[in-house]
C-alpha cells in the first residue's frame, strides 16, 4: 500500500506539489494522470525517496521508503528506463542489482523471461531501443518480487505486442493482491488497465476514485435518438432541465434524460424511434474536463502554415 498525507514540495516560491493526500490500495491498478508539470513525477520521486518533501509524508507498506530494510523486496520502481549502465549487458545489469539484496540468479533469469528479453539478455544496454529499455526497467522493478509496483510511463516506446504484454502483466499483479501505481498519457490504455484513478493538476488532486465514477462525474452522458418525427419527440421530452441538439447526420442528442425516460415518453406520444443509444463520456473527455484550467504548457492556437509559405 502507498499512503500520502499532506505531501508538499516547493522549489523556492514555486509549489510543485501542494499538500496532497491519497492512498493506493492493493488489489487494484491505480492510474496516476495529469498534464506535464502537474507534479506526477515529483510525487512519485518523493514516494521512493529520490526527492525530499518540503512537508508531509509518503509511506510504502507503512514506512518511509528510506526506512525499508530491503527496498527491492518492498517496492519495484521504474521512473527512468535509461537508468541502466550502457556498457553492461541486460543480464549483468540485473545480476548486479540482484546482488545488492541477495536475490538468486534464478530470479534474474525469471524476470528476463517475463519481460521477453531472453534473446537480448547478453546484449549491451546502450544498444537497446526505447521499448527494450522499458522492458529491462520493468524486469528490474519485478526483481525482488515486491508487493508494491510503481511505474512511470511504462508503455513509452513499446510496440503493440509490448503494450498488450504490460497490460496483462499489470492486471495479473493486481489480481495477485499487489499495489500497482501507474502513470501514463495514453488515455485509451489507461481506460483498459486501471481500476482506480488519481488525477493531479498544478500540484493538487483534481479527482480520486474508481474509474467509472471519475468519468461519470467529470463528463455528461447523452442520449442519441433518430426518428422521422423529430418535432414530436422534442415536444415529448422537452422540460426546463433537458437540452436537445440536432446532429449533422439527422439524429438528435438529448442531455438531461436517460434512454429509458426518452423511450417511455416517446411511446406515450406515439413517436416511432429508429435509434436510441446512451452515449457515455470517455476517459479522455473526463481528463480534459478535469484539467482544463490546470494545464501549465498550452500551445497557442495558430495558423499551422507560416506566413509566406506556399499554399
- Tell me the mean pLDDT in the region 143-158: 94
pLDDT at 185: 86
Q: Residue for cell digits 429509458?
A: 260
- The DSSP letter of residue 64 is -
Q: Are residues 79 and 174 in the same domain?
A: yes
- 211: nearest Cα among 50, 38, 40, 30: 30
pLDDT at 82: 82
In a domain, 300, yes or no: no
Q: Are residues 127 and 242 in the same domain?
A: no
Please state, rounded to an integer, the average pLDDT across all residues of the chain: 91
Among 174, 208, 242, the domain-final residue is 208
Q: Are residues 240 and 99 in the same domain?
A: no
- The DSSP letter of residue 216 is H
Split at pLDDT 50, 70, 90, the class of 299 is low
Give the C-alpha separation, 3 to 138, whole Å.
22
pLDDT at 220: 81
Q: Record the cell numbers describing residue 97, joined without a space.
A: 542489482
In a domain, 214, yes or no: no
Give the C-alpha separation, 71 to 253, whole Å.
53
In a domain, 130, yes or no: yes
pLDDT (tens digit per residue) in 174-214: 999 999 999 988 888 899 999 999 999 999 999 999 999 99
- What percentage of the chain carries pLDDT values higher than 90? 79
- Tell me the mean pLDDT in the region 223-241: 92
Long-range contacts of 118-127 (CB under 8 A, 24+ apart): 120/90, 121/89, 121/90, 121/91, 122/89, 122/90, 122/91, 123/89, 123/90, 124/86, 124/87, 124/88, 124/89, 125/84, 125/85, 125/86, 125/87, 125/88, 125/89, 125/90, 125/93, 126/86, 126/87
Q: How many domains are there within the chain?
A: 2
Q: Give CA angle at 92 (86, 96), nearest 5°.
A: 100
- Tell me the mean pLDDT in the region 156-170: 92
- Greater pLDDT, 22 or 220: 22
pLDDT at 280: 81
pLDDT at 304: 53
Among 184, 208, 232, the domain-final residue is 208
- Tell me the mean pLDDT in the region 254-282: 92
The strand pairing partners of 5, in sequence order, are 57
- Tell me the mean pLDDT in the region 106-119: 96
Q: Are residues 226 and 178 in the same domain?
A: no
Q: What share of the chain is helix, strand, coil (3-state, %, to 5)?
A: 35, 25, 40
Quick one: three-class SS letters along 134-160?
Answer: HHHHHHHHHCCCCCEEEEECCCCCCCH
Domain limits for position 75: 2-208
Q: Are residues 275 and 146 in the same domain?
A: no
140 Cβ contact list (under 8 Å, min separation 6): 76, 78, 84, 93, 94, 97, 111
- Tell me the mean pLDDT in the region 229-235: 93
Q: What is the pTM of this model?
A: 0.83
- Residue 158 to residues 136, 188, 206, 244, 286, Cα–Cα distance (Å): 12, 15, 29, 43, 25
Give the C-alpha separation, 213 to 215, whole Å.
5
Amino acid at each position: 500500500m502507498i499512503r500520502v498525507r499532506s505531501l508538499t514540495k516547493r522549489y523556492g516560491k514555486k509549489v510543485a506539489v501542494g499538500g496532497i493526500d491519497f492512498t493506493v490500495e492493493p488489489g487494484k491498478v491505480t492510474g496516476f494522470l495529469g498534464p506535464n508539470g502537474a507534479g506526477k513525477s515529483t510525487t512519485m520521486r518523493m514516494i521512493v525517496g529520490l526527492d525530499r518533501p518540503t512537508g508531509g509524508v509518503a509511506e510504502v507498506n507503512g514506512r518511509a521508503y528510506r526506512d525499508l530494510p530491503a527496498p527491492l523486496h518492498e517496492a519495484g520502481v521504474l521512473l527512468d528506463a535509461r537508468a541502466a549502465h550502457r556498457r553492461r549487458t541486460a543480464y549483468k545489469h540485473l545480476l548486479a542489482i540482484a546482488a545488492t539484496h541477495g536475490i538468486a540468479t534464478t530470479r534474474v533469469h525469471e524476470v528476463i523471461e517475463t519481460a521477453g528479453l531472453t534473446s537480448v539478455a547478453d546484449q549491451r544496454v546502450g544498444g537497446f531501443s526505447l521499448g527494450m529499455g522499458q522492458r529491462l526497467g520493468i524486469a528490474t522493478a519485478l526483481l525482488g518480487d515486491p508487493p508494491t509496483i510503481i511505474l512511470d510511463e511504462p508503455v513509452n516506446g513499446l510496440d503493440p505486442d509490448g503494450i498488450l504484454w504490460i497490460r496483462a502483466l499489470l492486471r495479473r499483479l493486481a489480481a495477485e493482491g499487489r499495489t500497482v501505481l501507474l502513470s501514463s498519457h495514453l488515455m485509451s490504455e489507461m481506460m483498459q488497465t486501471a481500476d482506480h484513478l488519481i488525477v493531479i493538476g498544478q500540484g493538487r488532486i483534481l479527482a480520486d476514485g474508481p474509474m467509472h465514477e471519475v468519468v461519470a462525474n467529470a463528463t455528461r452522458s447523452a442520449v442519441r435518438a433518430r426518428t422521422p418525427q423529430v418535432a414530436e419527440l422534442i415536444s415529448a421530452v422537452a422540460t426546463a432541465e433537458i437540452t436537445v441538439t440536432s446532429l449533422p447526420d439527422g439524429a438528435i442528442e438529448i442531455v438531461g434524460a436517460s434512454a429509458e425516460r426518452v423511450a417511455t415518453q416517446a411511446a406515450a406520444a406515439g413517436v416511432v424511434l429508429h435509434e436510441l443509444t446512451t452515449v457515455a463520456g470517455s476517459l479522455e473527455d473526463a481528463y480534459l474536463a478535469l484539467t482544463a484550467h490546470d494545464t501549465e504548457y498550452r500551445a497557442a492556437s495558430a495558423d499551422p502554415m507560416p506566413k509566406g509559405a506556399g499554399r
